[in-house]
Amino acid sequence: MLKDLFSYMRLRMDDRLNGNRRSKKIKYPFQKMVIAAALALWSITAINVLYSNFGVSGKDKIISAFGSMTYTDVSSSVSAYGKYGEVSISDNAKKLILEDIAEKIGINQYSITDMVDEEYNAVKTLSQTSVNGDVILKFITHDTSQQYIYVGITLKNVIDAAFTYEEIVKEILNDLEIDTAVNVNLKGEIYGKLDADTKDTLADALLGKMGAKIVTQNRTDDLYTIYAYDNDLKEYINVGQGKVNVNLSITYDETKNRTCIYLATPMNNEDL
């Protein structure tokens, strides 16, 4: 398995050295998570070595801290929303743009639909659902000429691969000249409802293992969310007077009787 991982990394390095950045197509097969699985197993020991000898990146710390907890279920997501431009675009052109994004993500069994949402925006949606996760791409037109693009990727039972897809989405947006944040969100579920002290202990442990400093917080039963800043993470957004690149939220799902822990960078933009 390690041999497969390092072979993959070597081939990717060759691609970067020899290919043209604008013309190359990054592919990470969405249906086959072999490399991600190898990375997940390898990182269990490798991250510990990095901590003790070389130090780790902010994203490695997120994976290590989040992965150290015990959950009944885990998932992760990558999302971005930004303005494509102010220009009229044909339906066929929108379709081609969405299909190009889908190819770079690595999906090819998708469907495309058209609708008008509650705000009277024209929305062309490309979507694919699989046992490994879901992909939703949207081309949204407001007032005929204001164009927006949404990218959403959900991964089931895996967290490590989210940061690989984050880099893919960043390059897609860079090629489209869309300047916006790419959000990565890790989600873990625990059976039952946690009391206030247990939630505080869990939250402080996660942030402590990352070394993230709290910027602002609200630790109530109705809204439990903490915004923090980690120097080892390059990206950040401004919230009030402070920089923020880590968002930890805890909610309770009465229907499933599960407590949900969300650890996002730079911000969780999912419905809680």
Closest CA to 66 of 209, 182, 193, 183: 209
First to last CA, the chain: 37
Q: Decide if 85 contacts 173 (C-beta within 8 A).
A: no
Closest CA to 63 of 197, 233, 257: 233
pLDDT score at 56: 60
pLDDT score at 30: 63
How many Å apart are CA 27 and CA 169, to the nearest integer? 11
Q: Decide if 271 contacts 251 (C-beta within 8 A).
A: no
Write down the pTM of the prediction. 0.79
pLDDT score at 256: 94
Q: Quickly tell me which residue has 């916006």 as its tokens.
A: 180
Q: Quickly tell me which residue has 């407001």 as its tokens.
A: 142
pLDDT score at 269: 79
How many Å apart are CA 117 and CA 136, to the nearest integer? 16
Q: Please, what is the angle between helix 161-175 and helix 91-105, to 10°?
A: 140
Residue-by-residue DSSP string for 151-202: EEEEEES-STHHHHHHHHHHHHHHHTT-----EEEEEEEEESPPPHHHHHHH
Domain boundaries, given as residue ranges, for the chain = 2-68, 77-183, 186-265
pLDDT score at 21: 41
pLDDT score at 19: 42
Q: Decide if 224 contacts 250 (C-beta within 8 A).
A: yes
Fold designation for 186-265 = Dihydrodipicolinate Reductase; domain 2 (3.30.360)
Closest CA to 176 of 136, 134, 147: 147
**Dihedral Cα 107, 73, 59, 9, nearest 10 deg:** -50
Q: What contacts 178, CB < 8 A, 6 or more positions away?
A: 80, 82, 83, 84, 149
What are the tens digits of pLDDT across the range 119-144? 899 999 999 999 999 999 999 999 98
Phi, psi of 20 (to 5 degrees): -80, 130
What are the residue ranges in the chain where pLDDT is below 70? 1-56, 271-272
pLDDT score at 235: 87
Domain range 77-183, its CATH number among 3.40.228.10, 3.30.2030.10, 3.40.50.720, 3.30.70.20 = 3.30.2030.10
pLDDT score at 47: 39
Closest CA to 212 of 263, 248, 246, 163: 246
Q: How far is CA 100 from the centre of its chain?
A: 20
Q: How far is CA 79 from the centre of its chain?
A: 6
